[in-house]
Protein backbone atom coordinates (compact mmCIF):
# COMPACT_ATOMS: atom_id res chain seq x y z
CA UNK A 1 0.00 0.00 0.00
CA UNK A 2 0.97 3.62 -0.38
CA UNK A 3 -1.17 6.45 0.94
CA UNK A 4 -0.21 10.05 1.64
CA UNK A 5 -3.55 11.78 1.45
CA UNK A 6 -3.76 13.10 5.02
CA UNK A 7 -1.66 15.24 7.34
CA UNK A 8 -0.84 12.34 9.66
CA UNK A 9 0.76 10.22 6.94
CA UNK A 10 3.69 8.18 8.29
CA UNK A 11 6.85 10.25 8.61
CA UNK A 12 5.18 13.04 6.63
CA UNK A 13 5.92 10.93 3.53
CA UNK A 14 3.48 8.05 3.15
CA UNK A 15 1.86 5.10 4.93
CA UNK A 16 3.32 1.93 3.45
CA UNK A 17 2.53 -0.88 5.84
CA UNK A 18 -0.58 0.23 7.67
CA UNK A 19 -2.26 3.61 7.91
CA UNK A 20 -1.60 5.79 10.93
CA UNK A 21 -5.41 6.16 10.74
CA UNK A 22 -5.77 2.39 11.23
CA UNK A 23 -6.42 1.53 7.58
CA UNK A 24 -5.07 -1.92 6.76
CA UNK A 25 -3.12 -2.71 3.63
CA UNK A 26 -6.14 -4.52 2.15
CA UNK A 27 -8.49 -1.60 2.87
CA UNK A 28 -6.03 0.87 1.35
CA UNK A 29 -5.68 -1.24 -1.80
CA UNK A 30 -9.43 -1.71 -2.17
CA UNK A 31 -9.92 2.04 -1.83
CA UNK A 32 -7.30 2.59 -4.53
CA UNK A 33 -9.16 0.19 -6.81
CA UNK A 34 -12.45 1.94 -6.13
CA UNK A 35 -10.92 5.28 -7.14
CA UNK A 36 -9.41 3.64 -10.22
CA UNK A 37 -12.83 2.28 -11.16
CA UNK A 38 -14.49 5.69 -10.95
CA UNK A 39 -11.65 7.12 -13.02
CA UNK A 40 -12.58 4.49 -15.63
CA UNK A 41 -16.22 5.62 -15.59
CA UNK A 42 -15.05 9.21 -15.88
CA UNK A 43 -13.02 8.46 -18.97
CA UNK A 44 -16.02 6.81 -20.64
CA UNK A 45 -18.20 9.81 -19.77
CA UNK A 46 -15.64 12.26 -21.17
CA UNK A 47 -14.61 10.34 -24.30
CA UNK A 48 -18.19 9.29 -25.02
CA UNK A 49 -19.30 12.95 -24.52
CA UNK A 50 -22.13 11.62 -22.37
CA UNK A 51 -24.75 13.96 -20.96
CA UNK A 52 -24.26 14.05 -17.18
CA UNK A 53 -27.99 14.87 -16.87
CA UNK A 54 -28.76 11.41 -18.08
CA UNK A 55 -26.39 9.39 -15.91
CA UNK A 56 -28.83 9.01 -13.01
CA UNK A 57 -27.48 6.85 -10.19
CA UNK A 58 -24.00 6.82 -11.68
CA UNK A 59 -23.53 10.45 -10.59
CA UNK A 60 -24.44 9.54 -7.01
CA UNK A 61 -22.34 6.38 -6.89
CA UNK A 62 -19.26 8.19 -8.16
CA UNK A 63 -19.71 10.80 -5.43
CA UNK A 64 -20.32 8.12 -2.81
CA UNK A 65 -17.24 6.16 -3.92
CA UNK A 66 -15.04 9.22 -3.56
CA UNK A 67 -16.48 9.95 -0.10
CA UNK A 68 -15.90 6.35 1.03
CA UNK A 69 -12.16 6.81 0.45
CA UNK A 70 -11.80 10.01 2.49
CA UNK A 71 -9.58 9.54 5.54
CA UNK A 72 -11.36 7.82 8.42
CA UNK A 73 -14.64 7.39 6.55
CA UNK A 74 -14.86 3.70 5.75
CA UNK A 75 -12.76 0.80 7.03
CA UNK A 76 -15.18 -1.94 5.97
CA UNK A 77 -13.61 -4.11 3.25
CA UNK A 78 -16.87 -5.91 2.50
CA UNK A 79 -18.61 -2.59 1.88
CA UNK A 80 -15.77 -1.34 -0.33
CA UNK A 81 -15.72 -4.58 -2.34
CA UNK A 82 -19.48 -4.31 -2.86
CA UNK A 83 -19.02 -0.71 -4.01
CA UNK A 84 -16.27 -1.70 -6.48
CA UNK A 85 -18.58 -4.36 -7.93
CA UNK A 86 -21.44 -1.90 -8.21
CA UNK A 87 -19.28 0.74 -9.90
CA UNK A 88 -17.74 -1.78 -12.32
CA UNK A 89 -21.23 -2.99 -13.23
CA UNK A 90 -22.23 0.60 -14.00
CA UNK A 91 -19.00 1.17 -15.91
CA UNK A 92 -19.54 -1.86 -18.13
CA UNK A 93 -23.20 -1.06 -18.78
CA UNK A 94 -22.17 2.48 -19.75
CA UNK A 95 -19.50 1.15 -22.10
CA UNK A 96 -22.06 -0.90 -23.96
CA UNK A 97 -24.03 2.24 -24.75
CA UNK A 98 -21.15 4.04 -26.42
CA UNK A 99 -18.79 2.85 -29.07
CA UNK A 100 -15.42 4.30 -28.30
CA UNK A 101 -12.04 2.73 -28.73
CA UNK A 102 -8.67 3.34 -27.16
CA UNK A 103 -9.94 3.36 -23.59
CA UNK A 104 -7.57 3.37 -20.63
CA UNK A 105 -7.12 0.20 -18.59
CA UNK A 106 -9.20 1.82 -15.81
CA UNK A 107 -12.19 1.62 -18.12
CA UNK A 108 -11.59 -1.96 -19.27
CA UNK A 109 -9.93 -4.05 -16.52
CA UNK A 110 -11.80 -6.96 -15.02
CA UNK A 111 -11.62 -8.62 -11.61
CA UNK A 112 -13.57 -11.63 -10.40
CA UNK A 113 -12.57 -12.12 -6.76
CA UNK A 114 -11.19 -10.30 -3.75
CA UNK A 115 -7.80 -11.83 -4.56
CA UNK A 116 -7.85 -10.44 -8.07
CA UNK A 117 -8.94 -7.02 -6.75
CA UNK A 118 -5.98 -6.91 -4.39
CA UNK A 119 -3.60 -8.06 -7.12
CA UNK A 120 -4.92 -5.47 -9.54
CA UNK A 121 -4.72 -2.76 -6.86
CA UNK A 122 -1.00 -3.36 -6.41
CA UNK A 123 -0.25 -1.97 -9.87
CA UNK A 124 -2.63 1.02 -10.06
CA UNK A 125 -2.04 2.97 -6.84
CA UNK A 126 -0.51 6.40 -6.25
CA UNK A 127 3.03 5.22 -7.10
CA UNK A 128 1.96 3.97 -10.52
CA UNK A 129 2.65 7.53 -11.71
CA UNK A 130 6.45 7.67 -11.99
CA UNK A 131 7.03 11.40 -12.34
CA UNK A 132 6.80 12.81 -8.82
CA UNK A 133 5.48 16.21 -9.92
CA UNK A 134 2.74 14.76 -12.10
CA UNK A 135 1.91 12.35 -9.27
CA UNK A 136 1.76 15.21 -6.78
CA UNK A 137 -0.57 17.29 -8.96
CA UNK A 138 -2.79 14.35 -9.87
CA UNK A 139 -3.19 13.40 -6.24
CA UNK A 140 -3.82 16.98 -5.11
CA UNK A 141 -6.63 17.18 -7.68
CA UNK A 142 -8.05 13.82 -6.59
CA UNK A 143 -7.99 14.82 -2.90
CA UNK A 144 -9.69 18.11 -3.72
CA UNK A 145 -12.30 16.21 -5.70
CA UNK A 146 -12.86 13.85 -2.74
CA UNK A 147 -13.58 16.83 -0.48
CA UNK A 148 -15.85 18.31 -3.14
CA UNK A 149 -17.68 14.99 -3.40
CA UNK A 150 -18.37 14.98 0.35
CA UNK A 151 -19.99 18.41 0.22
CA UNK A 152 -21.89 17.47 -2.94
CA UNK A 153 -23.27 14.35 -1.26
CA UNK A 154 -24.56 16.31 1.75
CA UNK A 155 -26.24 18.82 -0.57
CA UNK A 156 -27.72 15.99 -2.63
CA UNK A 157 -29.16 14.44 0.53
CA UNK A 158 -31.02 17.73 0.97
CA UNK A 159 -32.26 17.65 -2.61
CA UNK A 160 -29.78 20.18 -4.03
CA UNK A 161 -27.78 19.26 -7.13
CA UNK A 162 -25.50 21.30 -9.39
CA UNK A 163 -24.52 19.12 -12.35
CA UNK A 164 -21.64 21.48 -13.19
CA UNK A 165 -19.93 19.98 -10.17
CA UNK A 166 -20.57 16.40 -11.26
CA UNK A 167 -19.39 17.24 -14.78
CA UNK A 168 -16.20 18.71 -13.41
CA UNK A 169 -15.58 15.64 -11.25
CA UNK A 170 -15.67 13.39 -14.34
CA UNK A 171 -13.41 15.80 -16.19
CA UNK A 172 -10.89 15.98 -13.35
CA UNK A 173 -10.79 12.24 -12.68
CA UNK A 174 -10.41 11.44 -16.38
CA UNK A 175 -7.59 13.98 -16.59
CA UNK A 176 -5.64 12.09 -13.94
CA UNK A 177 -5.43 9.15 -16.39
CA UNK A 178 -4.20 11.29 -19.28
CA UNK A 179 -0.45 10.97 -19.81
CA UNK A 180 -0.44 13.75 -22.42
CA UNK A 181 -1.21 16.43 -19.82
CA UNK A 182 1.76 18.49 -18.66
CA UNK A 183 2.47 19.79 -15.17
CA UNK A 184 1.21 23.21 -16.31
CA UNK A 185 -2.06 21.66 -17.51
CA UNK A 186 -2.48 20.03 -14.13
CA UNK A 187 -1.70 23.26 -12.25
CA UNK A 188 -4.51 24.91 -14.23
CA UNK A 189 -6.80 22.00 -13.39
CA UNK A 190 -5.91 22.38 -9.72
CA UNK A 191 -7.27 25.93 -9.77
CA UNK A 192 -10.39 24.74 -11.59
CA UNK A 193 -10.79 22.23 -8.80
CA UNK A 194 -10.79 25.16 -6.36
CA UNK A 195 -13.36 26.96 -8.48
CA UNK A 196 -15.69 23.96 -8.29
CA UNK A 197 -14.94 23.61 -4.60
CA UNK A 198 -16.45 27.07 -4.14
CA UNK A 199 -19.51 25.91 -6.09
CA UNK A 200 -19.85 22.78 -3.94
CA UNK A 201 -19.60 24.73 -0.68
CA UNK A 202 -22.06 27.35 -1.95
CA UNK A 203 -24.47 24.57 -2.94
CA UNK A 204 -24.23 22.95 0.49
CA UNK A 205 -24.64 26.32 2.21
CA UNK A 206 -27.79 26.91 0.22
CA UNK A 207 -29.03 23.38 0.91
CA UNK A 208 -28.47 23.71 4.67
CA UNK A 209 -29.82 27.22 5.11
CA UNK A 210 -32.86 26.83 2.85
CA UNK A 211 -33.93 23.76 4.80
CA UNK A 212 -32.80 24.52 8.34
CA UNK A 213 -32.57 28.32 8.42
CA UNK A 214 -29.52 30.53 8.83
CA UNK A 215 -27.17 29.68 11.71
CA UNK A 216 -27.60 32.17 14.57
CA UNK A 217 -25.73 32.97 17.78
CA UNK A 218 -26.29 30.01 20.08
CA UNK A 219 -25.07 28.86 23.47
CA UNK A 220 -24.47 25.10 23.32
CA UNK A 221 -24.52 23.08 26.53
CA UNK A 222 -21.39 20.93 26.96
CA UNK A 223 -22.54 19.18 30.13
CA UNK A 224 -24.97 16.24 30.34
CA UNK A 225 -28.52 15.48 31.43
CA UNK A 226 -29.71 12.38 33.23
CA UNK A 227 -31.43 10.59 30.33
CA UNK A 228 -30.27 7.75 28.10
CA UNK A 229 -28.68 9.23 25.01
CA UNK A 230 -27.32 8.82 21.49
CA UNK A 231 -24.19 10.59 20.24
CA UNK A 232 -24.19 11.64 16.59
CA UNK A 233 -20.93 12.37 14.79
CA UNK A 234 -19.87 13.28 11.26
CA UNK A 235 -21.37 16.04 9.12
CA UNK A 236 -24.72 15.01 7.63
CA UNK A 237 -27.61 17.18 8.80
CA UNK A 238 -30.37 15.07 7.20
CA UNK A 239 -29.25 12.14 9.30
CA UNK A 240 -29.41 14.33 12.39
CA UNK A 241 -32.87 15.58 11.48
CA UNK A 242 -34.16 12.03 11.07
CA UNK A 243 -32.60 10.97 14.36
CA UNK A 244 -34.20 13.91 16.18
CA UNK A 245 -37.58 13.14 14.64
CA UNK A 246 -37.36 9.51 15.66
CA UNK A 247 -36.11 10.17 19.20
CA UNK A 248 -38.45 13.00 20.16
CA UNK A 249 -40.77 12.02 23.03
CA UNK A 250 -38.93 8.72 23.54
CA UNK A 251 -36.99 9.86 26.63
CA UNK A 252 -33.73 9.45 24.68
CA UNK A 253 -31.54 12.55 24.30
CA UNK A 254 -29.31 13.35 21.33
CA UNK A 255 -25.85 14.90 21.70
CA UNK A 256 -23.52 16.03 18.94
CA UNK A 257 -19.85 15.07 18.71
CA UNK A 258 -17.04 16.91 16.92
CA UNK A 259 -18.14 18.30 13.53
CA UNK A 260 -21.83 17.85 14.33
CA UNK A 261 -21.64 20.62 16.96
CA UNK A 262 -22.68 23.40 14.51
CA UNK A 263 -26.06 21.70 14.00
CA UNK A 264 -27.09 23.47 17.22
CA UNK A 265 -26.77 26.82 15.45
CA UNK A 266 -29.59 26.09 12.98
CA UNK A 267 -33.05 27.35 13.98
CA UNK A 268 -34.80 24.20 12.73
CA UNK A 269 -33.19 21.93 15.31
CA UNK A 270 -33.98 24.15 18.29
CA UNK A 271 -37.51 22.83 18.56
CA UNK A 272 -36.32 19.42 19.69
CA UNK A 273 -36.30 19.36 23.50
CA UNK A 274 -34.20 16.22 23.50
CA UNK A 275 -31.39 17.87 21.49
CA UNK A 276 -29.29 18.07 24.63
CA UNK A 277 -25.91 19.57 23.72
CA UNK A 278 -22.45 18.72 22.50
CA UNK A 279 -20.40 15.98 24.13
CA UNK A 280 -16.62 16.10 23.96
CA UNK A 281 -14.18 17.50 21.48
CA UNK A 282 -12.59 16.90 18.09
CA UNK A 283 -12.82 13.51 16.35
CA UNK A 284 -9.57 11.99 17.66
CA UNK A 285 -10.65 12.29 21.28
CA UNK A 286 -13.40 9.73 20.63
CA UNK A 287 -11.12 7.01 21.96
CA UNK A 288 -11.82 8.23 25.51
CA UNK A 289 -15.05 10.13 24.98
CA UNK A 290 -16.98 7.20 23.50
CA UNK A 291 -16.09 5.16 26.58
CA UNK A 292 -17.46 7.76 28.99
CA UNK A 293 -20.49 8.54 26.82
CA UNK A 294 -21.73 5.00 27.49
CA UNK A 295 -24.58 5.14 24.94
CA UNK A 296 -24.81 4.35 21.22
CA UNK A 297 -22.92 6.41 18.66
CA UNK A 298 -24.03 7.11 15.09
CA UNK A 299 -21.40 8.01 12.48
CA UNK A 300 -22.82 9.84 9.50
CA UNK A 301 -19.42 10.42 7.78
CA UNK A 302 -15.73 10.46 8.72
CA UNK A 303 -13.94 10.71 11.19
CA UNK A 304 -13.93 7.21 12.71
CA UNK A 305 -11.03 6.06 14.89
CA UNK A 306 -10.82 2.26 15.20
CA UNK A 307 -12.44 1.50 18.58
CA UNK A 308 -10.18 -0.08 21.20
CA UNK A 309 -12.76 -2.39 22.75
CA UNK A 310 -15.53 -4.72 21.64
CA UNK A 311 -17.80 -2.97 24.12
CA UNK A 312 -17.46 0.37 22.31
CA UNK A 313 -17.55 -1.25 18.88
CA UNK A 314 -20.88 -2.85 19.80
CA UNK A 315 -22.34 0.62 20.39
CA UNK A 316 -21.16 2.16 17.10
CA UNK A 317 -23.49 2.41 14.10
CA UNK A 318 -22.61 3.82 10.69
CA UNK A 319 -24.62 5.23 7.82
CA UNK A 320 -24.03 6.98 4.48
CA UNK A 321 -20.47 6.66 3.19
CA UNK A 322 -19.05 5.64 6.56
CA UNK A 323 -18.42 2.07 7.63
CA UNK A 324 -16.52 -0.04 10.10
CA UNK A 325 -16.28 -3.85 10.23
CA UNK A 326 -18.48 -5.32 12.93
CA UNK A 327 -20.56 -2.13 13.29
CA UNK A 328 -24.16 -2.12 12.12
CA UNK A 329 -24.60 -0.04 8.94
CA UNK A 330 -27.96 1.66 8.46
CA UNK A 331 -29.08 2.08 4.86
CA UNK A 332 -31.66 4.55 3.55
CA UNK A 333 -34.75 3.27 1.76
CA UNK A 334 -35.56 4.48 -1.76
CA UNK A 335 -37.00 7.71 -0.28
CA UNK A 336 -33.89 8.48 1.73
CA UNK A 337 -35.55 7.45 5.02
CA UNK A 338 -33.45 5.69 7.63
CA UNK A 339 -34.73 3.55 10.45
CA UNK A 340 -32.82 4.31 13.65
CA UNK A 341 -35.11 2.27 15.94
CA UNK A 342 -32.39 -0.23 16.79
CA UNK A 343 -30.12 2.56 18.03
CA UNK A 344 -32.93 4.09 20.09
CA UNK A 345 -33.79 0.72 21.62
CA UNK A 346 -30.14 0.13 22.51
CA UNK A 347 -29.86 3.60 24.10
CA UNK A 348 -32.70 2.74 26.48
CA UNK A 349 -30.76 -0.24 27.83
CA UNK A 350 -27.50 1.63 28.44
CA UNK A 351 -26.32 3.96 31.23
CA UNK A 352 -26.64 7.72 30.85
CA UNK A 353 -23.55 9.71 29.77
CA UNK A 354 -20.83 10.45 32.28
CA UNK A 355 -20.22 14.17 32.65
CA UNK A 356 -16.73 15.18 31.44
CA UNK A 357 -17.20 18.95 31.50
CA UNK A 358 -19.88 21.55 32.20
CA UNK A 359 -20.92 24.94 30.93
CA UNK A 360 -21.51 26.10 27.39
CA UNK A 361 -19.80 27.35 24.26
CA UNK A 362 -21.03 29.90 21.77
CA UNK A 363 -21.19 29.66 17.99
CA UNK A 364 -23.36 30.33 14.98
CA UNK A 365 -21.35 33.04 13.22
CA UNK A 366 -21.97 32.02 9.63
CA UNK A 367 -22.31 34.76 6.99
CA UNK A 368 -25.90 35.75 7.71
CA UNK A 369 -25.30 36.23 11.44
CA UNK A 370 -22.07 38.13 10.86
CA UNK A 371 -23.81 40.38 8.31
CA UNK A 372 -26.41 41.12 10.97
CA UNK A 373 -23.54 42.32 13.16
CA UNK A 374 -21.80 44.07 10.26
CA UNK A 375 -22.18 47.63 11.58
CA UNK A 376 -20.70 46.66 14.91
CA UNK A 377 -17.83 44.78 13.26
CA UNK A 378 -17.06 47.58 10.79
CA UNK A 379 -17.13 50.20 13.58
CA UNK A 380 -14.79 48.08 15.67
CA UNK A 381 -12.34 47.84 12.77
CA UNK A 382 -12.58 51.57 12.01
CA UNK A 383 -12.07 52.55 15.65
CA UNK A 384 -9.11 50.19 15.94
CA UNK A 385 -10.83 48.06 18.59
CA UNK A 386 -10.32 45.13 16.19
CA UNK A 387 -6.85 45.21 14.61
CA UNK A 388 -6.87 41.92 12.79
CA UNK A 389 -8.91 38.83 11.99
CA UNK A 390 -7.32 35.41 12.02
CA UNK A 391 -8.96 32.74 9.91
CA UNK A 392 -8.06 29.57 11.78
CA UNK A 393 -10.41 27.16 10.02
CA UNK A 394 -9.74 23.53 9.22
CA UNK A 395 -9.18 20.31 11.07
CA UNK A 396 -7.84 19.08 14.35
CA UNK A 397 -5.67 15.98 14.72
CA UNK A 398 -3.64 13.92 17.13
CA UNK A 399 -0.18 15.37 16.65
CA UNK A 400 1.41 17.08 19.61
CA UNK A 401 2.53 19.87 17.30
CA UNK A 402 -1.11 20.99 17.14
CA UNK A 403 -0.73 22.43 20.63
CA UNK A 404 0.62 25.34 18.57
CA UNK A 405 -2.96 26.37 17.79
CA UNK A 406 -4.03 26.56 21.45
CA UNK A 407 -0.97 28.56 22.36
CA UNK A 408 -1.42 30.77 19.30
CA UNK A 409 -5.02 31.58 20.25
CA UNK A 410 -3.99 32.30 23.84
CA UNK A 411 -1.13 34.57 22.87
CA UNK A 412 -2.89 36.57 20.17
CA UNK A 413 -3.24 40.24 21.13
CA UNK A 414 -6.61 41.05 22.70
CA UNK A 415 -7.58 43.30 19.80
CA UNK A 416 -7.80 40.38 17.37
CA UNK A 417 -10.68 38.08 16.43
CA UNK A 418 -10.45 34.43 15.36
CA UNK A 419 -12.77 33.30 12.56
CA UNK A 420 -13.09 29.53 12.60
CA UNK A 421 -14.88 26.60 11.01
CA UNK A 422 -14.26 22.85 11.10
CA UNK A 423 -13.01 20.75 13.98
CA UNK A 424 -9.83 22.87 14.28
CA UNK A 425 -11.81 25.06 16.71
CA UNK A 426 -11.62 22.53 19.54
CA UNK A 427 -8.03 23.64 20.11
CA UNK A 428 -9.31 27.00 21.46
CA UNK A 429 -13.11 27.19 21.61
CA UNK A 430 -13.23 26.47 25.33
CA UNK A 431 -10.60 29.04 26.31
CA UNK A 432 -11.91 32.20 27.94
CA UNK A 433 -10.73 34.62 25.26
CA UNK A 434 -13.32 37.28 26.00
CA UNK A 435 -15.01 39.67 23.59
CA UNK A 436 -14.49 43.02 21.90
CA UNK A 437 -17.47 45.29 22.58
CA UNK A 438 -19.77 42.28 22.71
CA UNK A 439 -18.22 40.50 19.68
CA UNK A 440 -16.74 37.20 20.90
CA UNK A 441 -13.06 36.80 20.06
CA UNK A 442 -13.72 33.36 18.57
CA UNK A 443 -16.42 33.40 15.91
CA UNK A 444 -17.37 29.86 14.88
CA UNK A 445 -19.08 29.72 11.49
CA UNK A 446 -19.72 25.97 11.60
CA UNK A 447 -18.38 22.83 9.93
CA UNK A 448 -15.35 22.73 7.64
CA UNK A 449 -17.58 23.42 4.60
CA UNK A 450 -18.71 26.61 6.35
CA UNK A 451 -15.26 27.97 5.59
CA UNK A 452 -17.31 29.16 2.62
CA UNK A 453 -19.01 31.54 5.06
CA UNK A 454 -15.64 32.95 6.06
CA UNK A 455 -14.84 33.63 2.40
CA UNK A 456 -18.25 35.29 1.93
CA UNK A 457 -17.58 37.45 5.02
CA UNK A 458 -14.16 38.43 3.64
CA UNK A 459 -15.69 39.41 0.29
CA UNK A 460 -18.34 41.46 2.07
CA UNK A 461 -15.70 43.28 4.14
CA UNK A 462 -13.74 43.99 0.96
CA UNK A 463 -16.86 45.60 -0.49
CA UNK A 464 -17.67 47.56 2.69
CA UNK A 465 -14.15 48.94 2.92
CA UNK A 466 -14.05 49.67 -0.82
CA UNK A 467 -10.90 47.62 -1.43
CA UNK A 468 -9.76 46.22 -4.79
CA UNK A 469 -8.13 43.13 -3.46
CA UNK A 470 -9.24 40.67 -0.78
CA UNK A 471 -5.61 40.54 0.39
CA UNK A 472 -5.72 44.20 1.48
CA UNK A 473 -8.08 43.26 4.33
CA UNK A 474 -6.69 42.94 7.86
CA UNK A 475 -7.20 39.15 7.66
CA UNK A 476 -4.50 36.56 8.21
CA UNK A 477 -5.05 32.91 7.22
CA UNK A 478 -3.50 30.39 9.58
CA UNK A 479 -5.19 27.15 8.59
CA UNK A 480 -4.85 23.66 10.03
CA UNK A 481 -5.49 20.68 7.79
CA UNK A 482 -5.95 16.95 8.25
CA UNK A 483 -8.06 15.29 5.57
CA UNK A 484 -9.24 15.93 2.01
CA UNK A 485 -12.06 18.34 2.82
CA UNK A 486 -9.37 20.72 4.03
CA UNK A 487 -7.67 20.26 0.65
CA UNK A 488 -10.76 21.48 -1.21
CA UNK A 489 -11.17 24.36 1.25
CA UNK A 490 -7.56 25.37 0.58
CA UNK A 491 -7.94 25.12 -3.20
CA UNK A 492 -11.18 27.12 -2.98
CA UNK A 493 -9.39 29.91 -1.09
CA UNK A 494 -6.60 29.93 -3.67
CA UNK A 495 -9.15 30.17 -6.45
CA UNK A 496 -10.78 33.14 -4.65
CA UNK A 497 -7.43 34.89 -4.76
CA UNK A 498 -6.42 34.58 -1.11
CA UNK A 499 -2.64 34.84 -0.80
CA UNK A 500 -0.07 34.06 1.89
CA UNK A 501 -2.02 31.29 3.60
CA UNK A 502 -0.12 29.58 6.40
CA UNK A 503 -0.80 25.87 6.47
CA UNK A 504 0.02 23.56 9.34
CA UNK A 505 0.91 21.79 11.43
CA UNK A 506 2.95 20.34 8.53
CA UNK A 507 2.77 20.85 4.78
CA UNK A 508 1.17 17.99 2.82
CA UNK A 509 3.35 14.95 2.15
CA UNK A 510 1.80 14.78 -1.32
CA UNK A 511 3.48 18.03 -2.40
CA UNK A 512 6.63 17.29 -4.40
CA UNK A 513 9.39 19.89 -3.94
CA UNK A 514 8.57 21.45 -7.34
CA UNK A 515 4.83 21.59 -6.72
CA UNK A 516 5.46 23.08 -3.27
CA UNK A 517 7.64 25.69 -4.98
CA UNK A 518 4.80 26.64 -7.32
CA UNK A 519 2.45 27.09 -4.34
CA UNK A 520 5.01 29.22 -2.54
CA UNK A 521 5.90 31.37 -5.54
CA UNK A 522 2.42 31.83 -6.99
CA UNK A 523 0.32 31.97 -3.83
CA UNK A 524 2.72 32.72 -1.00
CA UNK A 525 1.74 29.55 0.85
CA UNK A 526 3.95 28.72 3.81
CA UNK A 527 4.10 26.48 6.82
CA UNK A 528 4.01 27.57 10.44
CA UNK A 529 6.90 28.56 12.69
CA UNK A 530 6.89 29.09 16.43
CA UNK A 531 3.91 30.83 17.99
CA UNK A 532 5.91 33.89 19.04
CA UNK A 533 7.62 34.32 15.67
CA UNK A 534 4.37 33.84 13.79
CA UNK A 535 2.40 36.33 15.89
CA UNK A 536 5.16 38.87 15.43
CA UNK A 537 5.10 38.28 11.68
CA UNK A 538 1.30 38.42 11.38
CA UNK A 539 0.88 41.53 13.52
CA UNK A 540 3.63 43.45 11.68
User: For residues 523 and 500, what is the distance between their CA atoms, to the nearest angstrom?
Assistant: 6
Question: Which one, 8 or 534, has the nearer CB to ligand SF4?
Answer: 8
**23 interacts with, out of ligand FS2, ligand SF4, none, CB within 5 to 8 A per kind:** ligand SF4
**303 interacts with, out of ligand FS2, ligand SF4, none, CB within 5 to 8 A per kind:** ligand FS2
- SS3 at position 434: coil
Of 179, 39, 36, 62, the C-alpha closest to 120 is 36
User: 259 a known binding residue?
Assistant: yes
User: 21 a known binding residue?
Assistant: yes
**395 interacts with, out of ligand FS2, ligand SF4, none, CB within 5 to 8 A per kind:** ligand FS2
Question: Which one, 65 or 233, has the nearer CB to ligand FS2?
Answer: 233
Task: Answer yes or no: are the C-beta atoms of 530 and 230 closer than 8 Å.
Answer: no
Of 419, 425, 423, the C-alpha closest to 441 is 419
- SS3 at position 282: coil
User: For residues 151 and 20, what is the distance between their CA atoms, to the nearest angstrom?
Assistant: 25
Question: Which one, 106 or 480, has the nearer CB to ligand FS2?
Answer: 480
Q: Which of residues 408-467 bind ligand FS2 (CB under 6 A)?
A: 422-423, 447-448
Q: How far is the CB of 73 from ligand FS2 (least distance, A)?
A: 8
Question: Which one, 279 or 538, has the nearer CB to ligand FS2?
Answer: 279
Half-sphere exposure of residue 323, counting CA atoms within 13 Å on the CB side?
A: 22
**482 interacts with, out of ligand SF4, ligand FS2, none, CB within 5 to 8 A per kind:** ligand FS2
Q: Judged by CB under 6 A, which stretch of 104-112, 195-203, 478-486, 493-501 contacts ligand FS2?
A: 478-486
Question: Which one, 260 or 476, has the nearer CB to ligand FS2?
Answer: 260
**278 interacts with, out of ligand SF4, ligand FS2, none, CB within 5 to 8 A per kind:** none
Q: Judged by CB under 6 A, which stretch of 18-26, 87-95, 385-393, 480-488 contacts ligand FS2?
A: 480-488
User: For residues 360 and 432, what is the distance between their CA atoms, to the nearest angstrom?
Assistant: 11
**302 interacts with, out of ligand SF4, ligand FS2, none, CB within 5 to 8 A per kind:** ligand FS2
Q: For residue 166, give every residue at least 6 positions away whose Cβ sits within 8 Å of its Cβ, in sequence order, or none.
A: 52, 55, 59, 62, 63, 152
Q: Beta strand pairing status for 435-436 and 439-440? A: antiparallel
Q: Judged by CB under 6 A, which stretch of 43-51, 239-247, 269-277, 477-485 contacts ligand FS2?
A: 477-485
Question: Which one, 228 or 397, has the nearer CB to ligand FS2?
Answer: 397
User: 327 a known binding residue?
Assistant: no
Q: Report DSSP letters for 80-134, one per residue.
A: HHHHHHHHHHHHHHHHHHS---S--GGGT----SHHHHHHHHTTTSGGGS-SHHH
Classify 203 in phi/psi space as left (phi over 0), alpha (psi -120 to 50) or beta: alpha
Q: Which of residues 270-329 bind ligand FS2 (CB under 6 A)?
A: 283, 302-303
Q: Which of 483, 498, 507, 534 binds ligand FS2 (CB under 6 A)?
A: 483
In degrees rounded to 5, what are phi and psi of residue 482? Answer: -140, -60
User: For residues 18 and 48, what is the distance between their CA atoms, to the nearest angstrom?
Assistant: 38
**61 interacts with, out of ligand FS2, ligand SF4, none, CB within 5 to 8 A per kind:** none
**447 interacts with, out of ligand SF4, ligand FS2, none, CB within 5 to 8 A per kind:** ligand FS2
Looking at beta carbons, which residue is closest to ligand SF4? 19
Q: How far is the CB of 301 from ligand FS2 (least distance, A)?
A: 7
Burial class (CB in 10 A: 0-12, 13-18, 19+), 476: buried
User: For residues 244 and 335, what is the distance between their CA atoms, to the nearest angstrom?
Assistant: 18
- Torsion angle, CA of 109/166/6/280, rounded to 10 degrees? -130
**218 interacts with, out of ligand FS2, ligand SF4, none, CB within 5 to 8 A per kind:** none
- Residue window 338-377: x/- pattern of binding to ligand FS2, with contact defined by CB under 6 A: ----------------------------------------
**6 interacts with, out of ligand SF4, ligand FS2, none, CB within 5 to 8 A per kind:** ligand SF4
**Residue 259 interacts with ligand FS2 (CB under 6 A): yes or no:** yes
Q: How far is the CB of 448 from ligand FS2 (least distance, A)?
A: 3
Helix crossing, 132-157 with 57-68: angle to 10°?
A: 120
Q: Hey, how many other C-beta atoms are within 10 angstroms of the C-beta on 14?
A: 16
Question: Which one, 29 or 146, has the nearer CB to ligand FS2?
Answer: 146
Question: Which one, 31 or 447, has the nearer CB to ligand FS2?
Answer: 447
Q: Judged by CB under 6 A, which stretch of 20-28, 221-229, 400-408, 482-490 contacts ligand FS2?
A: 482-490
User: For residues 68 and 77, what is the distance between their CA atoms, to the nearest angstrom?
Assistant: 11
CA separation (Å) from 393 to 32, 159, 405, 529? Answer: 29, 27, 11, 18
Give contact residues for ligand SF4 (rule: CB under 6 A).
3-6, 8-9, 15, 19-21, 23, 28, 71
User: For residues 311 and 351, what is the distance between their CA atoms, to the nearest angstrom?
Assistant: 13
Beta bridge partners of 218: 363
Q: Which residues are annotated as a binding site for hybrid [4Fe-2O-2S] cluster?
A: 235, 259, 303, 395, 423, 448, 483, 485
* Interacting residues toward ligand FS2 by CB under 6 A: 235, 258-259, 283, 302-303, 395, 422-423, 447-448, 482-483, 485
Q: Which residues are annotated as a binding site?
A: 3, 6, 15, 21, 235, 259, 303, 395, 423, 448, 483, 485
Amino acid sequence: MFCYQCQETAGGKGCMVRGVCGKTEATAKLQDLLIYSVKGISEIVMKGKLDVNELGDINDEVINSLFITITNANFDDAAIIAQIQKVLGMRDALKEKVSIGGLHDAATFTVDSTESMLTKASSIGVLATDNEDIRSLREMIIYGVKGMAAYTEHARNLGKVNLDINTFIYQALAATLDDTLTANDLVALTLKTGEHGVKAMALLDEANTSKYGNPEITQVNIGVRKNPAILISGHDLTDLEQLLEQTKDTGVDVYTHSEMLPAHYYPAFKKYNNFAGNYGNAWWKQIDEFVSFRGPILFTTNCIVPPRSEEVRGRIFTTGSSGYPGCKHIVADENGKKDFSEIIALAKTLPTPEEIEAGSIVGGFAHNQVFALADKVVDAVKSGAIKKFFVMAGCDGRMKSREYYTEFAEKLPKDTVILTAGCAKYRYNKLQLGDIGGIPRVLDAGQCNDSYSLAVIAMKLKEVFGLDDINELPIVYNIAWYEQKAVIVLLALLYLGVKNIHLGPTLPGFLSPNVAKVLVESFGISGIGTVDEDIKLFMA
